[in-house]
Amino acid sequence: MATRRRGGLIGRSNVGKSSSAQENTRKHNIIPTNIDEANAGDSDDQTLLTSGKNNANPDTSTVPSFERSEPKSLNSVGPQSDHVSDEKADHLAEVNISSRRGNYLLTVGLPRSGKTVLQSFMTYYMGVAGKLDAQLDNKEKGKAGTINHEAQRIQTLWLDSWKKGEFPESTSVGENEIRELRLTVTNNENSGQKFNLSFLEISGENFLSVVPDRNQIPKLFDRLKSFLTNKNIKINIIFLLKSDEENEQVSCDALFTNFIQFVNNELNIDVRKKLNLILVLPDTKSIFGEDKWAQAKKNKRLYEKIMKSYVYEKFPATYMIYNNWKKNNRAIMAFNIGDIENEKLKNQNFEDVKSFINLNYRLFTGKNLSPRFKWFKKLLGSQ
């Protein structure tokens, strides 16, 4: 029986397929059977599915949804008069995007799927927990470089709202509402691992423009095109799955399929060569049921089976995009942030976000975040 929670349809879904779906799966043998290691350098990190072997110790902590129908008001976070004007807020309007360098995350998803939650919780984690130091890079190069005050405001709102257990406001709609946050991240246990991690805050409504209907042909904002066609940046694209998509204007499959087709055809980009792909599935505890999810977290084969079977059954076109991607450049993982009580986050859980950051670092660099001389420390510890 599905129940309405946090604006989304939170179902206690049965992960078993129909007999026809099971037969189709066996016939085509398209569901992979191996699990990558999310964090070879950290045994505390959460299990996720990619192309290698996973030796992480899955956690059995509570993993609620972060999907919401309406963002919680953040009126208590700073006075309204502190907000910068729209003219000054649109920092990207004055930026030459072709000159950008670094590593970018582009999260694509339906409205209210949790894109802001994913990125804000990641920023919050690096600011208050773990062993990473993330500094906002919000000044353009040169002595007269402009400062991105809007990025600073957004980061402050995120930190304050999560500190109170409140959910940040969703991103506004429109090209001039696309926000860029650039972070310089340093591993405090290994100063040699210093890297750029940037992402774009884009509303789900903005992505719907790539899906054609009777009234529109597919289109994409020019500045987003500029990022995608910039050969000097690396991009990890995150497809954020929404389990309660039934009442949405379009489905996840329609959105992700049309996005890939648009980038391939309109921008002449071979996305499988240019981009890494991560499928993120939130609310896994509610999807699979508390008991089954706790069991799956202890059994990597069961974890793999129910995650991939669910994606294949619920989002078949999206699964085929993933299945046809280069194995070393793709991943599937769960993302949970803690317990939700009375519209507030309780008992924050950083395991998935920790794994998520390491996964992105590995896809960008081919390495895992780990302490300096970890191999030597392991050797000493084994004696």
pLDDT at 38: 42
Q: At 180, is the secondary structure helix, strand, or coil?
A: strand
The answer to whether 110 and 245 have CB atoms below 8 angstroms apart is: yes
For 241-289, give the secondary structure using H, E and C: CCCCCCCCCCCHHHHHHHHHHHHHHHCCCCHHHHEEEEEEEECHHHHHC
- Using left for φ > 0, alpha for ψ between -120 and 50, and beta otherwise, residue 66 falls in alpha
| Amino acid residing at 153 | R
Which pLDDT value is given to residue 309?
Answer: 95
For residues 226 and 216, is the Cβ–Cβ distance under 8 A?
A: no
Tens place of pLDDT for every residue, the chain, 383 residues? 433 334 333 333 344 444 444 444 444 444 444 444 444 444 343 335 654 444 344 444 443 444 444 443 323 333 333 444 444 568 888 888 999 999 999 999 998 899 999 999 999 999 998 789 999 999 988 767 889 898 999 999 999 999 999 999 876 656 566 789 999 999 999 989 999 999 988 887 888 888 888 777 877 788 888 999 999 999 999 999 998 888 788 999 999 999 999 899 888 888 888 899 999 999 888 889 889 988 988 898 898 899 999 999 999 999 999 999 999 999 999 999 988 888 899 889 999 999 999 999 999 999 999 998 655 455 455 44
pTM of the prediction?
A: 0.76
pLDDT at 50: 52
Question: What is the model's pLDDT at position 176?
Answer: 64
pLDDT at 163: 93
Token duo for residue 199:
């992402």
What pLDDT is stored for residue 380 in this prediction? 53
Phi, then psi, of 367 in degrees rounded to 5: -125, 165
